[in-house]
Amino acid sequence: MNKKFNPFRSIFDLEKKSEELKILQSQSETSEFWDDHNSAQKVMKRISQLEKQIVSWNTLNIQVEGLGPLLELDDGSLTDEIGVQVEKLEEILEKKETELLLSGQYDHGDAILAIHAGAGGTDSQDWAGMLERMYLRWAEDSGYKTEILDRTMGEEAGVKSVTIYVEGDLAYGYLKCEKGVHRLVRLSPFDAAHRRHTSFALVEVLPDIEGDDEIVIRPEDIEIEVYKSSGAGGQNVQKNMTAVRIIHLATGLVVTCQNERSQTQNRESALKVLRSRLFELQEQAHAEEISDLKGEFKKVEWGSQIRSYVLHPYQMVKDHRTEYETGNTQSVLDGNLDAFMEAYLRKKD
């Protein structure tokens, strides 16, 4: 375990991280710290990230070092217990190894996840609803907080589109692996003849770039509309004008937020999503410029699905980018996505 763990000690550089934490904590204690609110929030977020990382690595270090004395005491009765501890530590190390691959500018930040049903009517809307459940389960199991910012329900089942805010360390780093078209093959529960149908849904993943000075939205750049939130009907219909639609005039981007909170909160959330979408447009333009030099660029389109979920005539979930696959489709639909994300990150690296 020490041989496996030592390389990670040097890569993570606990001493350097601890020194950075001390400097930032010292900054946060100055009287003028909160004069620049955005800058202060960035620092506090970084402090929180460092504290969690340092505690996690220190705990792992103690557990690894604790195996030595345990082995010395072992007369044969502790062998099974030590074996179980070693397996658990190896799993943790594999997770830590994957985390070290997440070194992008926004990888440690929060994420905005949007799911859109493709062509195919009720089946595709139901599939988008299944994906919503899958990602909410994954987020819950991973310890992330989630908030539905906007949801348009399907006509018979599922959703036409849903936007979810996912909060927590490395949320964007992991979820960015899911960006693209997801394809479902199954016997349709909405077809009277019970025929096999293929459905598509698009998953968008954006980093929360709030506080990033590069993306500036001026009041004259946007048009804001307010309206009543739509619900399931009856008492669930919002009677006040709390839903917000923001149109970015230069690009034509439209963002809505109607999670039945106050109009002010919905406006702030919609601006957050718009800022992230503008950032994505900027990144795409940059990628296209680079691709012009390299001679290659592939857009995410309906024909280029990243993953297929086949429920009939056999059971299989396969990622077409990594070739990673599993026959346990129900586990994947219940949110067990870590193996797919890790395979993508390792191949990309």
111-208+304-348 and 2-99 share a CATH fold:
no
**What pLDDT, in 10s, does the model give residues 147-206?**
999 999 998 899 999 999 999 989 999 999 999 999 999 999 988 788 899 999 999 999
Give SS3 for 233: coil
Fold of the domain built from segment(s) 111-208+304-348: Alpha-Beta Plaits (3.30.70)
Nearest 5°: the CA angle 279, 229, 219 is 40
Residue 245, both tokens: 């639609």
CA distances from residue 41 to 36, 37, 47, 139, 261 in whole angstroms, order as listed: 9, 6, 10, 24, 23
Residue 82, both tokens: 């030590």
**CB-based contact 160:152 (threshold 8 Å):** yes
For 283-301, what is the mean pLDDT? 59
**What pLDDT, in 10s, does the model give residues 240-252?**
778 999 999 999 9
User: 117 - beta bridge partners?
Assistant: 201
**pLDDT bracket for residue 300 (50, 70, 90):** very low
- Give CA–CA dist 146/165, Å, rounded: 6
- Give CA–CA dist 277/283, Å, rounded: 10
Nearest 5°: the CA angle 303, 305, 309 is 130
Task: Tell me which amino acid residue 14 is.
Answer: L
**What pLDDT, in 10s, does the model give residues 71-111?**
777 667 777 777 888 888 888 888 888 888 887 888 988 99
Statement: residue 286 has pLDDT above 80? no
Residue 70, both tokens: 């345990």
What are the sequence ranges of the domains in the chain?
2-99, 111-208+304-348, 219-294
- Give CA–CA dist 218/248, Å, rounded: 10
Residue 317, both tokens: 């979930």
Beta-sheet strands, E only, within 48-119: 111-117
Nearest 5°: the CA angle 30, 31, 35 is 105
Residue predicted with more confidence, 220 or 348: 220
Helices 2-12 and 79-99 sit at what angle, rounded to 10 degrees? 30
Q: How is domain 2-99 classified at the architecture level of CATH?
A: Up-down Bundle (1.20)
Beta-sheet strands, E only, within 61-144: 111-117
User: Which long-range contacts (C-beta less than 8 Å, at least 24 apart) are formed by 85-89?
Assistant: 86/1, 89/1, 89/60, 89/63, 89/64
- Give CA–CA dist 170/299, Å, rounded: 25
Strand 196-207 vs strand 222-227: parallel, antiparallel, or unpaired? Answer: unpaired
- Give CA–CA dist 59/56, Å, rounded: 5
Strand 305-310 vs strand 180-187: parallel, antiparallel, or unpaired? Answer: parallel
**pLDDT bracket for residue 143 (50, 70, 90):** very high
Strand 145-153 vs strand 159-167: parallel, antiparallel, or unpaired? Answer: antiparallel
Task: Tell me which amino acid residue 196 is.
Answer: R
**What pLDDT, in 10s, does the model give residues 41-72?**
888 988 988 898 888 888 888 888 887 777 77
* pLDDT for position 176: 95
Domain boundaries 219-294, corresponding CATH code? 3.30.160.20
- Give CA–CA dist 159/153, Å, rounded: 4
Buried b (16+ CB within 10 A) or exposed e, 106-120: bbbbbbbbbbbbbeb
Residue 132, both tokens: 């919503």
**CB-based contact 43:22 (threshold 8 Å):** no
Q: Is 76 left (phi over 0), alpha (psi -120 to 50) or beta?
A: left
